[in-house]
Amino acid sequence: MNEVPMQEQELQQKKPKKKPKKKLGIIIGIAAVLGIVALIIILVIANSEPAPEPQPFDTIEQFAAAYSNHDYGEIIECFDPRVTKIVQNIISGVAGFFGIPKLDSVAVGLIGGLLGGFAKDNLPLEEVTGTMTVKEISTVMDDKNKAVVTVEFTIVHTSGQSDTWYENISMVKRDDKWYITFEWGNLTSLYPSSPNPKADA
């Protein structure tokens, strides 16, 4: 009489236990999160635009901001390093004679070379004063590394008076950065006794 219940008990013990569904739910949840993250990454990459190529006028805007901030070091950074080196050699003696710090003198000399007659007639030759704004009128690319930008300049002097005029600015690209360059006649008009060097192209 007792054998049948014992057999049923053994059969019940031999039945496979059901695996918990909790682990499966966690795996599905993780997979869902990873899928969403992957989808977001794909959408961001698809919608992201490559960084814009530097343009010649970008450097002119940088120059105007540096001028307005009277940041001599930043002004110098806007000019072709080959031009800057020659200007340093030309006016280092002038700076020493007038007791002007060399950095200031080089920056002012570069501004004079850039703005030519306007600088000679309207700007002090020993310091940067006032504020400057610029507006791009046109840009003509000579080739991928040279350009001429026509710019509307406005300077507000410390007196409150302002001047607006136009310049054709020569630009050169070196190592993926655009720099300002200029005609040497502009510089020698400010410093008549200076030599008239030729910068390497």
Q: CA torsion 56→62→64→66, rounded to 10°?
A: -150
Pairing outcome for strands 177-181 and 146-156: unpaired
- What is the rounded average pLDDT of the residues 16-45? 68
CA-CA distance, 71 to 65, in Å (whole number)?
9
Contacts of 72 (CB under 8 A, 6+ apart): 103, 104, 106, 107, 128
pLDDT tens-place string over residues 188-197: 444 444 444 4
Instruction: Compute the Cα dihedral for 87, 126, 79, 163 and give only its sign.
Output: negative
CA-CA distance, 201 to 172, in Å (whole number)?
9
| CB-CB contact of 70 with 128 (8 Å) | yes
pLDDT tens-place string over residues 61-82: 999 999 999 999 999 999 999 8
Alpha-carbon distance values, 97 to 73, 94, 100, 105, 168 (Å): 21, 5, 8, 11, 32
More confident residue, 159 or 33: 159
Contacts of 155 (CB under 8 A, 6+ apart): 122, 123, 130, 131, 132, 162, 163
Confidence of residue 39 (pLDDT cuts 50, 70, 90): confident
pLDDT-above-90 percentage for the chain: 30
Contacts of 121 (CB under 8 A, 6+ apart): none
Q: Which residue has the tokens 């001429």?
A: 148
pLDDT tens-place string over residues 91-127: 666 555 555 556 677 888 788 778 876 777 777 766 7
Per mean pLDDT, which of 26-35, 58-67, 151-160 is the most reliable?
58-67
Q: How many helices (H) and strands (E) does the chain have?
A: 7, 4
Which domains occur in the chain, in start order? 56-190 (3.10.450.100)
In this predicted structure, the answer to whether residue 5 has a pLDDT above a threshold of 70 is no
The confidence score (pLDDT) of residue 119 equals 76
In this predicted structure, the answer to whether residue 141 has a pLDDT above a threshold of 50 is yes
The confidence score (pLDDT) of residue 198 equals 45
What are the structure tokens assigned to 100, written together? Answer: 């002007």
